[in-house]
Amino acid sequence: MKGLRLLIAIVFGVTLLGSAALFCTAAQAASAVGSVGAGGEPAGDYEAAKVKGTQVSLGLGAGAAPDYEGSNDYTAVPLLFARVAWESGMFLRFEGGTLRANLVPSDKWRFGPVVKYIRPRDHVEDKKVSDLKDVDAALMVGGFAGYDIGKLSTYIQVVQDVSGANDGLLATLGVGYSVKISDPVHMVLMASTSYASGDYMSTYFGIDSRDSARSGLKTYNADPGFKDVGAGVMVNYSIWEHVGFRVLANYTRLVGDAEDSPIVDDQGSANQFFGGLMVTYTF
């Protein structure tokens, strides 16, 4: 049984990212373009209670997210979650379009590579934003590190675009606090902030002269800096030994040049919300 679970973990890790990309491409065809924002994508491993042997968790659900980063229109999005954890403290986790692998055998420290998928911005609901040049899907690669202090989890994550979609760098700093409400109910409170490079900001928030002529929006130069702060909550409710529900809610506030962009200030909103529900299965 242990050998079978290990085989599942290896195969799952190799194939998951490609499957997720295909899934997000299908969502793109339905105009499900959005981002959960800073606090809606846990970078820690908040299910990391001590496990025996190998534990596999899977989740599937749906949520509502902004049509694009900075939009005030919302769209339905699919939610996928998967996690393989080993007794050593190492894990492989996919959630919110991000795949992480903790390579440190420790119950406190976390360190490893990250691959993050950002959906394209095209065919959005807002007419003027839709007239801007399309932004291709981005593949961001980097690493993360974290440390647990009792119920408090801290992390930092840095990723760089390798697909040529935005050529930017995105750094995220965050914390999570775990609360056991009862035997079947576990809650995590989360907060984070993100810093973006000039290339990232220009891609998603800047407007050049050509985009201005096409859309009617004024030209805008978005400089590097902190682009958002966010807070969220995740509640896990175990119905049976292997089956449970996960509720996610998040609020992100765009700040700095992201908030002042005409894409956000004139056509959208700096207040970004996300909510979703998943069914999870653990074995």
| Domain encompassing residue 127 | 2-282
43: pLDDT strictly greater than 80: no
Give the pLDDT band of residue 179 (cuts 50, 70, 90): very high
Q: In degrees rounded to 5, what are phi and psi of residue 85? A: -125, 145
Query: What is the number of domains present in the chain?
Result: 1
Residue 235 has which token pair?
Answer: 């509640």
Q: Residue 245 maps to which CATH number?
A: 2.40.160.40
Cα 107 to Cα 29: distance, rounded to the nearest angstrom: 41
pLDDT, tens digit, for every residue of 60-109? Answer: 999 999 999 999 999 999 999 999 999 999 999 999 899 999 999 998 99
CA distances from 51 to 20, 48, 78, 184 (A): 26, 8, 28, 17
For residue 3, the model assigns a pLDDT of: 52
